[in-house]
Structure 1
Amino acid sequence: MSTAENSGLVRERIALPPLGHGSFRRRLHAVALIATLGGLLFGYDTGVINGALEPMKEDLGLTAFTEGVVTSSLLFAAAIGAMISGRISDALGRRKTIMALAVLFLIGTITCVFAPGFGVMVLGRIILGLAVGGASTVVPVYLAELAPYEIRGSLAGRNELMIVIGQLAAFVINAIIGNVWGDHDGVWRYMLAVAALPAICLMVGMMTVPESPRWLISKDRVEEATAVLSTIRSQQRAQAEVDMITEIAEMEKTRVKGSWSSIRDSRWVRRILLVGIGLGVFQQLTGINAIMYYGQSVLKDAGFESKAALIANIAPGVIAVIGSAIALWLAQHMNRRTTLLIGYSLTTLFHFLIGIASVTLPEGNAWRPWVLLFLIVCFVGSMQTFLNVVTWVLLSEIFPLQIRGLAIGISVFCLWIANAFLGLFFPTIVEAIGITGTFFMFGVIGLFAIGFVYTQAPETRGRTLEEVEDDVTTGAIYTHHLREKTDA
Structure 2
Amino acid sequence: MVDAESIAGGKKKLNKYACACAIVGSLISIIFGYDTGVMSGAMIFIKDEFTVKETQLEVLAGILNLCALVGSLCAGRTSDYIGRRYTIVLASIIFMLGSIIMGYSPNYGVLIAGRCTAGIGVGFALMIAPVYAAEISAAHSRGLLSSLPEIGISVGVLLGYVSNNLFGNLSLRLGWRLMLGVAAVPSLFLAIGILKMPESPRWLVMQGRVGDAKKILDKVCDDAAESEQRLKDIKTAAGIDESCTADVVKIPKQKDTTAASIWGDLLFRPTPAVRRMVIAGVGLHFFEHVTGVEGVILYGPSIFKKAGVTSRKKLLEATIGIGIVKLTFITISTFIIDRVGRRRLLLFSIAGMVASLAGLGTCLTVVERSDRRLVWALVLSLIFVYSYIMFFNIGLCPVCWVYSAEIFPNRLRAAGASLGVAVNRVMNATVSMTFLSMARAMTFGGTFYFFMGMAVVAWLFVFFLLPETRGRRLEEMEEVFSKGGGRGGGKVEMVTMTN
Q: Provide the TM-score with structure 1 as the length reference.
A: 0.91
What one-letter code is carried by the residue in structure 2 that aligns with 1:119?
A: G
Cα displacement (A) at 1:271: 2.7
Q: Is structure 2 residue 87 aligned with structure 1 residue 102?
A: no
1:288 to 293, 308, 322: 293
Q: Is structure 2 residue 274 aligned with structure 1 residue 274?
A: no
Contact 2:34-2:153 at 8 Å conserved across structures: yes
What one-letter code is carried by the residue in structure 1 that aligns with 2:384?
A: L
Q: Could you tell me how far apart the structure 2 residues matched to 1:95 and 1:266 are?
A: 28
Q: What residue number does 1:307 align with?
A: 313
Contact 1:90-1:403 at 8 Å conserved across structures: no
Contact 1:354-1:372 at 8 Å conserved across structures: yes
Q: What residue number does 1:260 align with?
A: 263
Q: What residue number does 2:230 align with?
A: 241
Aligned length: 469
Contact 1:52-1:191 at 8 Å conserved across structures: yes
Q: What residue number does 1:476 align with?
A: 483
Q: 1:446 to 1:191 in 2, by over 3 A?
A: same
SS at match of 1:36: helix
What one-letter code is carried by the residue in structure 1 that aligns with 2:181?
A: A
Q: Percentage identity across aligned positions? A: 29
Q: Is structure 2 residue 10 aligned with structure 1 residue 28?
A: no
Q: What residue number does 1:250 align with?
A: 239
Cα displacement (A) at 1:291: 1.1
What one-letter code is carried by the residue in structure 1 that aligns with 2:414?
A: G
Q: Could you tell me how far apart the structure 1 residues matched to 2:237 and 2:483 are?
A: 16
Q: Is structure 2 residue 397 aligned with structure 1 residue 397?
A: no
Contact 2:347-2:462 at 8 Å conserved across structures: yes
What one-letter code is carried by the residue in structure 2 that aligns with 1:158?
A: L
What one-letter code is carried by the residue in structure 2 that aligns with 1:347?
A: M
2:32 to 33, 38, 42: 42
Q: Is structure 2 residue 171 aligned with structure 1 residue 171?
A: no
Q: 1:358 to 1:481 in 2, by over 3 A?
A: closer
How does 1:336-347 map onto structure 2 within 5 Å?
Answer: 336-347=342-353
Q: What residue number does 2:391 align with?
A: 382
1:264-320 deviation digits (Å, cap 9, x = unpaired): 222322231122111000011111111111111211111112221111111111000
2:120 to 101, 105, 130: 130
Cα displacement (A) at 1:153: 0.3
Q: What residue number does 1:425 align with?
A: 434
What one-letter code is carried by the residue in structure 2 that aligns with 1:69?
A: V
SS at match of 2:471: coil
Contact 1:90-1:215 at 8 Å conserved across structures: yes
Cα displacement (A) at 1:479: 8.5
192-201 vs 410-419, greater mean Cα deviation: 192-201
Q: What residue number does 1:330 align with?
A: 336
Cα displacement (A) at 1:256: 7.9
Q: Could you tell me how far apart the structure 2 residues matched to 1:443 and 1:234 are?
A: 45
Q: Could you tell me how far apart the structure 2 residues matched to 1:344 and 1:479 are?
A: 15
Q: 1:480 to 1:452 in 2, by over 3 A?
A: closer
Q: Could you tell me how far apart the structure 2 residues matched to 1:478 and 1:278 are?
A: 13
Q: 1:19 to 1:450 in 2, by over 3 A?
A: closer
Q: Could you tell me how far apart the structure 1 residues matched to 2:420 and 2:119 are?
A: 16
**Structure 1: 5+ residue runs without aligned partners?**
1-6
Cα displacement (A) at 1:483: 4.9
Cα displacement (A) at 1:33: 1.7
**Structure 2: 5+ residue runs without aligned partners?**
241-250
236-245 vs 405-414, greater mean Cα deviation: 236-245
Q: 1:102 to 1:479 in 2, by over 3 A?
A: closer
What one-letter code is carried by the residue in structure 2 that aligns with 1:376?
A: V
Q: What residue number does 2:247 align with?
A: none
Q: Could you tell me how far apart the structure 2 residues matched to 1:487 and 1:430 are?
A: 47
Q: What residue number does 2:324 align with?
A: 318
Q: What residue number does 1:229 align with?
A: 217
Q: Could you tell me how far apart the structure 1 residues matched to 2:237 and 2:409 are?
A: 10
1:441-484 deviation digits (Å, cap 9, x = unpaired): 10111111111111111211011111124444xx2354876654
Cα displacement (A) at 1:32: 1.7
Q: Could you tell me how far apart the structure 1 residues matched to 2:38 and 2:166 are?
A: 12
Cα displacement (A) at 1:229: 1.4
Q: Could you tell me how far apart the structure 1 residues matched to 2:343 and 2:444 are?
A: 30
Cα displacement (A) at 1:81: 1.0
SS at match of 2:239: helix
Q: Could you tell me how far apart the structure 2 residues matched to 1:256 and 1:398 are?
A: 20
Contact 1:55-1:186 at 8 Å conserved across structures: no
SS at match of 1:107: helix
145-154 vs 328-337, greater mean Cα deviation: 328-337
Q: Could you tell me how far apart the structure 1 residues matched to 2:462 and 2:143 are?
A: 18
Cα displacement (A) at 1:228: 1.4
Q: 1:274 to 1:364 in 2, by over 3 A?
A: same
Q: Could you tell me how far apart the structure 1 residues matched to 2:87 and 2:181 are?
A: 23
Q: 1:65 to 1:228 in 2, by over 3 A?
A: same
How does 1:457-468 map onto structure 2 within 5 Å?
Answer: 457-468=466-477
